[in-house]
């Protein structure tokens, strides 16, 4: 009996000492729950006003990466940011969550994004939260470093305007409030040439790479799929799984990106060539 208590104590102590997997966060909300986070995000977004990026031509590039899982200094992420800011056709970059890999590392990635902000084209980097960014109550850190996680922005070109919608799925669902917000936003879909939706958690489990990773509840997945199909969304960008997947369902293309974590074999990021069509160019690392 005493031995069992000692073993239990040691296991609990080791679990509590882990700064990568929040044992509490795995079974109970470690940050504010999705409805509270979305409420805060929408308030921040509404307070900051609509964000419009301007492209000098109808064709431009958007740089997208995900799952950088920052432990120490994120070298691949730095290379991504430098490439984006040295590309004359790039208007911005998107970081689709799982920025942190341990407690307190969100600030390291934010600093990397900031150090090159004044160089090159000065393209902004916009992020959404992933599940690892919510562990250890890091939602407050995310807000401080990256701001809202439910928002949209437009890219204005001489002839067209494109809509980008960023969603928070770090807690394994989008929640009622965010889905209502998305529904309202998509009513204006007709005003835009392309509509791109970004969320951290991949919607489908089509192969074995997803065996160990979690997804959204099925009903919410179906509700989201219908909303995206019904409104003619051009592209859905996702992360979380660390393995690339490209599927089309109901007229919508769902693209899951590789990770951009240092030390992994399948790291890449996406350069989205936006013109009359959306062309995907993956840059292997």
User: Which residues here bind other proteins, judged by CB under 8 A?
Assistant: 22, 25-31, 33-34, 131-132, 134-135, 170-176, 179, 201, 204-208, 211-220, 222-223, 225-226, 229, 247-251
Alpha-carbon span 245 to 220, nearest angstrom: 20
CB of 251 to other proteins, least distance (A): 7
Going from the C-alpha of 228 to that of each of 92, 110, 168, the distances in angstroms are 23, 31, 16
CB of 110 to other proteins, least distance (A): 20
The pair of structure tokens assigned to 130 is: 């992933």
Residue 80, phi then psi, degrees to nearest 5 = -60, -50
For residue 223, what is the enclosing H or E element? helix 218-230
In this complex, which beta carbon is closest to other proteins, that of residue 23 or of residue 185?
Answer: 23
Q: Do residues 168 and 149 make contact, with C-beta atoms less than 8 angstroms apart? A: yes
CB of 252 to other proteins, least distance (A): 9
DSSP secondary structure, 236-266, as one string: EEE-SSSS-EEEEETTEEEEEPPP--TT-TT
CB of 174 to other proteins, least distance (A): 7
Alpha-carbon span 260 to 271, nearest angstrom: 13
In this complex, which beta carbon is closest to other proteins, that of residue 70 or of residue 157?
Answer: 70
CB of 204 to other proteins, least distance (A): 6
In this complex, which beta carbon is closest to other proteins, that of residue 62 or of residue 100?
Answer: 100
In this complex, which beta carbon is closest to other proteins, that of residue 100 or of residue 196?
Answer: 100
For residue 151, what is the enclosing H or E element? strand 151-156
In this complex, which beta carbon is closest to other proteins, that of residue 63 or of residue 136?
Answer: 136
């Amino acid at each position: 009996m005493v031995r069992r208590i000692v073993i239990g104590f040691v296991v609990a102590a080791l679990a509590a000492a882990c700064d990568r997997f929040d044992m509490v966060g795995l079974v109970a909300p470690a940050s504010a729950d999705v409805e509270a986070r979305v409420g805060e995000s929408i308030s921040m977004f509404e307070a900051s006003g609509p964000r419009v990026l301007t492209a000098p031509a109808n064709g431009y590039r958007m740089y997208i990466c995900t799952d950088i899982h920052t432990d120490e200094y994120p070298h691949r992420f730095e290379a991504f940011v430098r490439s984006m800011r040295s590309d004359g056709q790039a208007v911005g970059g998107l970081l689709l969550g799982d920025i942190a890999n341990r407690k307190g590392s969100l600030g390291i990635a934010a600093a990397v994004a900031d150090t090159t902000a004044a160089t090159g084209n000065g393209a902004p980097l916009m992020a959404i939260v992933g599940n690892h960014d919510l562990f250890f109550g890091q939602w407050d850190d995310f807000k401080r470093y990256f701001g809202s996680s439910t928002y949209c922005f437009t890219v204005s070109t001489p002839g067209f305007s494109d809509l980008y919608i960023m969603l928070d799925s770090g807690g394994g669902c989008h929640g009622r409030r965010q889905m209502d917000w998305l529904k309202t936003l998509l009513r204006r879909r007709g005003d835009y040439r392309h509509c791109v939706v970004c969320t951290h958690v991949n919607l489908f489990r089509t192969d074995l790479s997803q065996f160990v990773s979690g997804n959204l509840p099925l009903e919410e997945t179906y509700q989201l799929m219908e909303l995206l199909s019904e409104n003619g969304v051009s592209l859905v960008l996702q992360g979380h799984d660390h393995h690339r997947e490209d599927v089309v369902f109901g007229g919508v293309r769902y693209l899951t990106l590789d990770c951009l974590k240092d030390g992994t074999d399948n790291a890449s990021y996406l350069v989205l060539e936006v013109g009359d069509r959306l062309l995907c160019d993956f840059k292997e690392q």
